Amino acid sequence: MASHFDIDLLMPAPMMPFVMERLDQAFRVHKLWLAADGDALLAEVSSRIRAIAAGGGAAVTADLMRRLPRLECVAGFGVGYDSIDVQWAGAHGITVTNTPDVLTEEVADTALALTLMAVRRLPQAERYLRAGNWLERPFALTPTLRGRTAGILGLGRIGKAIARRLAACGVPVHYHGRHRQEDVDLPYHATPVDLARAVDVLVVVTPGGVETRGMVDAAVLKALGPNGVLINIARGTVVDEDALIAALRDGTILGAGLDVFAHEPQVPQALLDLDNAVLLPHVGSATTYTRQAMGQLVVDNLVAWAQGRPVLTPVPETPIKVA
C-alpha cells in the first residue's frame, strides 16, 4: 500500500493490530521484530528512518537512536516512558511523545480496586470459597479501609484521580512528590519515609527510571508499619522487591497489592508464595476501550508530527512543546 507520507518509520515490537494497520496506511513501516536479521535491516534502512513507533515495551536506547541520523520523533505507547532514553533524545532535538490522560481513569480504577482487594483480602476469600472451605467455616474477618489514611507517592494526573476515589471512600489522602504543589490542598511530606510514617496505605504512582529506582526501600516499608499496605501500579523498579518480600514475610507490613514487577513478566516465586500479596499481570490500563484510545493517540501524534503540526502529548524532556 502506498504511503500517505513519504516517510520511513521503524516499529521495533508488535503493536495493536489497528495501530499497525493505520501506521501502514500512513507511513513506510519497517517492522524490526519480523526481520530475520534485525541488524541487517537497520543497516539497510537507518539512513531513511525519521520516526519510531514504540510499543510492546520496546527499548528505544541511545545506541538505537544514534544509528538513525534522520530520526525526529519517537511515539511511545503508554504514559510511562522509562524504556525510551528521553534525555538523549531531547539533547539531540528528537521529539518524544507518550499517551497520558486517556488511561488516567482506568488506572485509577485499578488502583482503588487493588487497594480494596489487598486490604479486604478479597482474592483470598474467593480462593477460599472455590476450594470448598466455606462449607466448613466462614472466611476469617479481615482488615478494613475504614479509619485508614492513604499516601500517594507521585501526585500527577493518575495520582490525583486515585486521591479523588479514596476521598470518596472517606479515606484522607497525603502525598509526596519532587515538589509541593501549591494548588493542592492535601498534606505534603518532604520524603517517602515521612509520607509512609504518616499513612497506612501507600500507593505508588511515580514514574519509573533511574531517579526513582528502589525509592520504596526497607526504610520506607518499616515506616509504613505492621498495619500498612503497599499498592504499586507505577513501575516495578520503584520498589525494592527483595525488601518488599522480606517485609511481607516478617510482618513489617500487613500486605501488598502489585500490578507491576521489576522484571515483567517474570514474578519472583517468593512473591507468588506469599498469601498477603495480591498480584495482577500489569492490567492497570488493559481494557479494550482505553488501549484503543492509547493506540489512536500514538497514531495521532505521529500524523501531527508528519504534517508539521505540534505533537499532541510531548513528554516534558522533549525539545518541542505543545502550541
CA dihedral of residues 41, 78, 60, 12 (deg, nearest 10): -10
Question: What secondary structure does DSSP assign to 202-215, as a single string?
Answer: EEE----SGGGTT-
Question: Contact 94/60 with Cβ under 8 angstroms?
Answer: no
What residues does 204 pair with on adjacent strands? 153, 232
| Annotated catalytic residue 189 | no
- What does the angle CA 276 – CA 282 – CA 283 come to, to the nearest 5 degrees? 105
Contact 150, 174 (CB under 8 A): yes
What is the residue whose three cell numbers read 482505553? 290
Amino acid at residue number 41:
L
Instruction: Give the Cα separation of 252 and 45 in Å (integer).
Output: 54
Which listed residue (44, 249, 264, 309) is catalytic?
264
Separation between Cα atoms, residue 55 and residue 66, nearest integer Å: 19
Cell matching residue 281: 499481570
Spatial distance between the Cα atoms of 187 and 224, rounded to a whole number of angstroms: 17
Q: Which of 282, 291, 309, 317 is catalytic?
A: 282
CA distance 44 to 42: 5
Residue 176 annotated as catalytic: no
Helix (H, G, I), strand (E, B) or coil at 129: helix
First to last CA, the chain: 33
Say what the alpha-carbon torsion angle 216, 120, 146, 154 is, to the nearest 10 degrees: 30
Among residues 50, 235, 241, 291, the one annotated as catalytic is: 235
103 and 282 Cβ atoms separated by less than 8 Å = no
Active site residue 92: no
Catalytic residues: 235, 264, 282
